[in-house]
Structure 1
Amino acid sequence: MGTLWYGGRIRTLCSEEDVQEAVFVEEGHIVSVGRLADLKLKHEGTISEEINLQGAVMYPGFVDSHLHMIGHGEKLLKLDVSDVTSITRLSGILKKAIKELPPGQWLVAEGFNENLYDQQLVPDKYVLDSVSLHHPIIVSRVCRHASVINTYALQLAGIDKHTPEPAGGIIVRDEHGAPTGYLHDQAQELVKKYLPEQDFTYVEKALSTAVNDLLKKGYTGGHSEDLNYYGDAEATLKAFYNVIDGIHCKFRTNLLIHHEVASGILSNYHQTDHPYVELGAVKIFADGALGGRTALLSKPYDDDPSTCGVGIHTKAELEELIKEARAFFRPVAIHVIGDKALEMAIEAIEAYPPEVGQRDRLIHLQVTREDLIARLQQLPVVLDIQPRFVASDFPWVEKRLGKKRLETSFAWKTLIDKGLMCAGGSDAPIEPIDPMLGIHAAVTRRKPEEEHAGYNPHEKLSLYEALTLFTTGSAKAIGKENVYGKIAKGYKPDFTILTEDLFDLSPDEWLNVKVAKTVVDNTIMYALNQKS
């Protein structure tokens, strides 16, 4: 016995034009798609439930191809300063928050963004010392590849002018060699080990908060990287199993496994351990981010010729990490933002390719080159891009890279036109989770409130291309494009149902469209105006 969905448009995404009237689902799969009258006749006697869309529009389930689910939940629960537009305002928010804390207790805030401030000045230890000298304070940058801490925290971590630079990290120092409190990439680990450990009640709360928000935003699944950040990778994995239990909560979750915990996880757990949480590729960081000038470039930054960025690993180390992943018969997912980091990743994959039938994943891919794009065309890789970065990083990124380098940067249309497989994600909590913002950025290449032709407008995607990033693209990233990403016979019944048809609206109007229902495995996991 099965379910008949009808009463609205069915955007199958099998093609840009394909719109159907009804879908019949039975035993966890789509059985038929087509005209309502035909499906009623064909499945007469086996329809046990009929669900009227009431004019809403059904799409294949949206899947975020790259985010940090627990981190997103933490952002919703913690002190978030990502929208603060001045250091003065930042100080005021921190001072208000610290009044609630006893002396000696950490104040942790998320997401400062100096590009929103006058003169783009990064807050330093002196700014945080003015907030408190009696509490350790850490404020992460919006990219999470850098943090600023106060003097109390520097002393707690034992960081002073004599502290050597850690591999893959930078301790920013003043003209006298004293640390300013600004730490990049691996240098953050020097202080993070002194942060209070969170118990797993908190971790589960953050994860549950994130999943509920993802479902509300229309996501039926996500590819998340979380296992290396909460002290115990196996306990973190079990938190996913507990929250996404397949009964009260269904959410298709593919977990990237940080290389530092891969051996323990992959030795003890298997793909079949859970129906909705699966273990994915081994995650490796090759470089940092453009905002803090730690993305690894082949030539110096235009606005700071003294640096080309930071490589987290040497070429030999990167190859060794890939070899270790291959020993577990795993693909890799490599964070690459700068073109030199991309070049290193390509060389390592060329030397140690994945198993036949597997695909590696390259995440972010913001700065590319024509010669590297040609090499990518020869590899079994999916390019995991985050369209929203265009809206967030322009126009300041022009100063970082210069006009010449920008010609092949954030070049999503070029990559797709070259036949490369691309998936779409948010990188939440770094960027907003809302898929409408990602789709809007992919199509307009500007912020919603702006009124111009878009940054590098020749790289704009069509609405159909943008939608496929979050549907078939995400499915290709895990080698399951024959299971997810379309509304077609044999596919899983995961649906994102919107109140209006995006194809009828202008891009700015998309942001007002609501999610009517989010359906995972033919189960309504979220409905607009439902009672909680």
Structure 2
Amino acid sequence: MGVLWYGGNIYTMKSIGNTVDSVFIEDGIIVDTGDYHILKQNYGNKISEIKNLNGKTMFPGFVDSHLHIIGHGEKIAHLDLSLMTSPEQVAEALRSRVDNLHEGEWLIGEGWNENQWEDPRILHKDELDSICPNNPMLLTRVCRHAILANTHAMEKAGVNDRTKDPQGGKIVRNEEGQATGYFLDTAQEIIKKVVPDISIDKLTKLVGTSIDELLELGLVGGHSEDLAYYGGFNKTLAAFYNAINKENRRFRAHLLVHHEVVDDMIASEISFSEQNEYIELGAMKIFSDGALGGRTAWLSEPYEDDRDNYGIPIHSIEVLEDLVKKARLHGLPIAVHAIGDQAAWTVAKLIQKYPLNNGRRDRIIHAQVMNKQLLELLKSIDVVLDIQPTFVASDFPWIIDRLGEKRVQDAYPWKTYLQHGIPCAAGSDAPIEDVNPLHGIEAAVLRRSNIDGNIYNEKQQLSVYEAISLYTKGSAYVIGREHNRGQIDKGFLADFTILDVDLFQIPPEKIRTAKVEMTVVDGEIAYNRE
């Protein structure tokens, strides 16, 4: 027996403006679409329930193509520093936590961002020691490519002024060569490795906490990268099973597999895209560079505000090539973090050298800095660009200091990608950015800075249809599910995001004010605002 939905604006996303009057679903699959009266007549004996949208608007279910589900749960559970506007405010928030710490307990904070402080300086470990001298402290920068640690944490990790920088990372030091407590990219792992493992119960709770909020925000699924952390592949995968299956949460988690745990995946005899209807394993995840905020994204030309710095390649080119070859050995696509244009160029050349011939799709994640030569290369290979629209809203105008007025004109070029036929999907990179897909859609359309309210690179603004497509058809295409996800059509999964307003009929600056009325996964209501 099935359910007939009608009575609202139902956008199929098959093409611009394409709508249907009603949708009949059965066993989690869309059986038919069309005129309400015809469907009611044709399927009358199979209809067990009729749901009236009462003028609300239905879309194919929104899917975040790049986030960190457990990391988002940590942001909710830990001390959230993302809205702080000064180092003093951060310090006060830390002090408020110290008195409640048990002996040996870590003080963990998430999301600090000096670029939104009036005094954009990096806190020194001496300041952290004055706040919290007796407990180890770990504060993750918003980009997740840098951390701050106090002396207690550094001592636990065995770090001193003579500790060497690892490949792909940097221990920031002062002019006297003393470590300041600031760790970039792979150097973070020196500290992180001594943080006590989280229990499976707490890990399951973090997954569940995160997914509950994602569903509330209208997301029916997300492509996440978590499996190399929190105690390893098997433990982290088990937490997803526990949170989604055992507690009967409906959410489609597509889990990228970090290259460091691909062997664990192979040993488990779990193949790409195989698990169950809600959990599946995806591409091999690789980091090729850092981030623009900490000047570690790998650029073809030096940073405008640091002329001797081109960023940091996480791996040597030889190691990066070996990782791609390993992925191909197992028939795996790759999903590579590449923010800088030199990083994206290096990855694209390897994809060109080692093409994937089994129908699976590689993706380059972020692709924020572009040049003409790189654009032509991307057009010539089979790759999807996994972009994060909200980076425009949070990175401008300070990104101009990093790249300069000329180069920034070719940065975050979402419209250019689409105009050149390069397929794209969109996500948030939560917890780094706001996970709300409506904020991402609005950012793609407006390109308005959250910092100064100005619009940047107006020619790169997307239409509302293009922006929504990134979270529906785009997210389905990148994982080879375009035949049954991302649209409202016969044979597609009955995953819907239902809003109180029609996004095509309101001013773009009002998109973020839309409210999610219901989130439907597999034909069942997974979240209901009422």
When normalised by structure 2's length, the TM-score is 0.97
8 Å CA contact retained: 2:107, 2:138? yes
8 Å CA contact retained: 1:61, 1:494? yes
Corresponding letter in the other structure for 1:362 = I
**1:449, distance to aligned residue in structure 2 (A):** 8.1
Provide the C-alpha distance between the structure 2 equivalents of 1:481 and 1:464, rounded to a whole number of angstroms. Answer: 17
Alignment partner of 1:415 out of 414, 417, 437: 417
Alignment partner of 1:430 out of 417, 429, 432: 432
Tell me the residue number matched to 2:362: 360
Provide the C-alpha distance between the structure 1 equivalents of 2:246 and 2:416, rounded to a whole number of angstroms. Answer: 39
Q: Deviations over 1:275-313 (max 9, x none)?
A: 210010000000000000000011110001121110001
Tell me the residue number matched to 1:483: 484
**1:26, distance to aligned residue in structure 2 (A):** 2.2
8 Å CA contact retained: 1:241, 1:274? no
Tell me the residue number matched to 2:159: 159
Corresponding letter in the other structure for 2:104 = G
Q: Deviations over 1:403-447 (max 9, x none)?
A: 121121100000011001000100000001101110110000014
8 Å CA contact retained: 1:296, 1:341? yes
**1:42, distance to aligned residue in structure 2 (A):** 2.4
Tell me the residue number matched to 1:381: 383
- Equivalenced residue count is 528
8 Å CA contact retained: 1:246, 1:275? no
Tell me the residue number matched to 2:211: 211
Paired residue secondary structure (2:119):
helix
Note the 1:304-383 alignment, pairs <5 A: 304-383=306-385
Tell me the residue number matched to 2:461: 460
**Alignment CA distance shift 1:397-1:222 (3 Å):** same
Tell me the residue number matched to 1:518: 519
Q: Deviations over 1:199-228 (max 9, x none)?
A: 111110000001100100001111000001
Q: Deviations over 1:480-513 (max 9, x none)?
A: 1111011011111100000111111112222221
Say yes or no: does 1:69 pair with 2:69. Answer: yes
Say yes or no: does 1:52 pair with 2:52. Answer: yes
Tell me the residue number matched to 1:497: 498
Say yes or no: does 1:94 pair with 2:94. Answer: yes
8 Å CA contact retained: 2:110, 2:142? yes
**1:457, distance to aligned residue in structure 2 (A):** 0.6
**1:159, distance to aligned residue in structure 2 (A):** 1.6
Provide the C-alpha distance between the structure 1 equivalents of 2:56 and 2:179, rounded to a whole number of angstroms. Answer: 56
Provide the C-alpha distance between the structure 1 equivalents of 2:412 and 2:443, rounded to a whole number of angstroms. Answer: 11
Provide the C-alpha distance between the structure 2 equivalents of 1:196 and 1:362, rounded to a whole number of angstroms. Answer: 32
Tell me the residue number matched to 1:8: 8
Say yes or no: does 1:143 pair with 2:149. Answer: no
Tell me the residue number matched to 1:250: 250
Corresponding letter in the other structure for 1:216 = E
When normalised by structure 1's length, the TM-score is 0.97
Structure 1 stretches lacking a partner, 5+ long: none
Provide the C-alpha distance between the structure 2 equivalents of 1:266 and 1:78, rounded to a whole number of angstroms. Answer: 33
Q: More displaced, 183-192 or 244-253? A: 244-253
8 Å CA contact retained: 2:394, 2:451? no
Paired residue secondary structure (1:82):
coil
8 Å CA contact retained: 2:386, 2:426? yes
Paired residue secondary structure (2:365):
strand
Paired residue secondary structure (1:308):
coil
Provide the C-alpha distance between the structure 2 equivalents of 1:75 and 1:486, rounded to a whole number of angstroms. Answer: 31
8 Å CA contact retained: 1:3, 1:51? yes
**Alignment CA distance shift 1:224-1:252 (3 Å):** same
Corresponding letter in the other structure for 2:409 = E
**1:191, distance to aligned residue in structure 2 (A):** 1.0
Q: Deviations over 1:53-86 (max 9, x none)?
A: 1211100000000000011011111111011011
**1:188, distance to aligned residue in structure 2 (A):** 0.7
Corresponding letter in the other structure for 1:47 = I
Provide the C-alpha distance between the structure 2 equivalents of 1:449 and 1:281, rounded to a whole number of angstroms. Answer: 35
Paired residue secondary structure (1:504):
coil
Identity of aligned residues (%): 47
Provide the C-alpha distance between the structure 1 equivalents of 2:453 and 2:114, rounded to a whole number of angstroms. Answer: 23
Structure 2 stretches lacking a partner, 5+ long: none
Provide the C-alpha distance between the structure 2 equivalents of 1:70 and 1:132, rounded to a whole number of angstroms. Answer: 26
Tell me the residue number matched to 1:528: 529
**1:460, distance to aligned residue in structure 2 (A):** 0.3
Provide the C-alpha distance between the structure 2 equivalents of 1:183 and 1:154, rounded to a whole number of angstroms. Answer: 10
**Alignment CA distance shift 1:449-1:440 (3 Å):** farther
Provide the C-alpha distance between the structure 1 equivalents of 2:102 and 2:14, rounded to a whole number of angstroms. Answer: 58
**1:274, distance to aligned residue in structure 2 (A):** 2.0
Provide the C-alpha distance between the structure 2 equivalents of 1:348 and 1:83, rounded to a whole number of angstroms. Answer: 39
Q: More displaced, 517-526 or 441-450? A: 441-450
Alignment partner of 2:302 out of 300, 303, 318: 300
**Alignment CA distance shift 1:246-1:360 (3 Å):** farther
8 Å CA contact retained: 1:358, 1:380? no
Say yes or no: does 1:189 pair with 2:189. Answer: yes
Q: More displaced, 43-52 or 415-424? A: 43-52
Provide the C-alpha distance between the structure 1 equivalents of 2:118 and 2:4, rounded to a whole number of angstroms. Answer: 56
**1:46, distance to aligned residue in structure 2 (A):** 2.0
Provide the C-alpha distance between the structure 1 equivalents of 2:158 and 2:26, rounded to a whole number of angstroms. Answer: 61
Tell me the residue number matched to 1:238: 238
Paired residue secondary structure (2:410):
coil
**1:247, distance to aligned residue in structure 2 (A):** 7.2
**Alignment CA distance shift 1:448-1:293 (3 Å):** closer
Paired residue secondary structure (1:104):
coil
**1:267, distance to aligned residue in structure 2 (A):** 2.8
Provide the C-alpha distance between the structure 2 equivalents of 1:272 and 1:48, rounded to a whole number of angstroms. Answer: 32
Tell me the residue number matched to 1:23: 23
8 Å CA contact retained: 1:2, 1:27? yes
**1:196, distance to aligned residue in structure 2 (A):** 1.5
**1:246, distance to aligned residue in structure 2 (A):** 7.7
Corresponding letter in the other structure for 2:68 = H
8 Å CA contact retained: 2:274, 2:280? yes
